[in-house]
Amino acid sequence: MFLANPQRFMSFSKWAAPIFGVLAVGMLGIGFTLGFTVPDDYQQGQTVRLLFLHPQVSFVSMMAYAAMGVSAFFGVVFRHLLADAAARAAAPIGAGFTFLALLTGAFWGRPMWGTWWEWTDPRIMSELVLFLFFLGYMALLSAVDDEAKATRAANILAMVGLPNLAVVHFSVYWWNSLHQGSSITTTIMAWFHSLSGGGQADKPGLAPVYVAPFVLSFFGLACLFAALWLVRIRSEVWRRKAQALAVQAAGKA
C-alpha cells in the first residue's frame, strides 16, 4: 500500500528500476556464461543449455500475468489509477516472455520429444492460452476509444485469466503431459534447503553443477521484468499527466 501513492511510487521507482536493471545484467551475464561452460547432460546432451532459458522465461511469464491480474483486480475494485497503469505496463512484457516460453519450448521439444508442438499437451496449451490473454488484454485496450471503458473491460479480462495460472502450473500433474514437472520451484526449494544447512531435500532437483546458472538466470530475468515493469509504469504516469495537461491547455485556449 506504500506504493499506492503515485508520488511515493515515482520517487521509489526512480532508484529501484536502475538497481533491478543492473542486477539483471549482472546475474544474466554470469548465469548465461556459466550455463555455456557447464558439462553436457548425460541424457539431454548439449540441449541442457536451454535449461537456463526456457523454464525461467516460462516462470517469469506467469509472474507477469500474476502482476497484471492482481493490478487489474485493484484497478477494478478500488478504481486506483496506478493499479490500472501497472496492469497496462505488465501486458507487453508478459506477452514477450510468454512468446519466448512457447518458442524456446518448441526448440527444446523437437530434439527431446521429436516434435515442435503438441496440440493435446496441457502445459503447452495452457501457456498458449496465457499468451492469448495477454494479446486479448492489449487488443481490448486499443479497440475501445473511451480509455476508462477500455481499461475496465481489459482489467476484467485480465482477472478472468488469473485461474489459468493454476492450470499452467499444475497441468503437468493433473493430466498426462509430455512436459516434465515443475523445475523452478523444485530447484529453488532444494537450493534454499541446502543453503539453510538442511542437507539433501526431499526432491533433489538439478545436478549441483547446473544449480548456479539455473538460479542466477532465473533471478536475473525476474529482475529484468521488475526493471522494465517499473519503467513502464512510470511511463504510464507521465502519459496520463501529459494528457491531463494537454486537456487543460486546450480548455484555456
Partner 1 sequence: MDLFTGKYAIYIGPSYAAAAIVFAWLTIDTLVRARSWRRKAEALQAQKDGKDPA
* Binding characters for partner 1, 88-117, by CB under 8 A (x = yes): ----xx--xx-xx--xx--xx-xx------
Please report whether residue 152 would count as binding partner 1 according to CB under 8 A: no
Neighbouring C-alpha atoms within 13 Å toward the C-beta of 40: 6
CB atoms within 10 A of CB 165: 18
Q: Which of 33, 115, 120, 180 binds partner 1 (CB under 8 A)?
A: 33
Output 53 or 159, the one with its CB closest to partner 1: 53
Output 36 or 78, the one with its CB closest to partner 1: 36
DSSP codes, 68-134 = HHHHHHHHHHH--HHHHHHHHHHHHHHHHHHHHHHHHHHHHHHHHHS-S--TT-HHHHHHHHHHHHH
Where in 49-78 is the site for partner 1 (CB under 8 A)? 49-50, 53-54, 57
Are residues 118 and 82 in contact, defined by beta-carbon separation less than 8 angstroms? Answer: no
Binding site for partner 1 (CB under 8 A): 32-33, 36-37, 45-47, 49-50, 53-54, 57, 92-93, 96-97, 99-100, 103-104, 107-108, 110-111, 224, 228, 231-232, 234-235, 238-239, 241-242, 245-246, 248-249
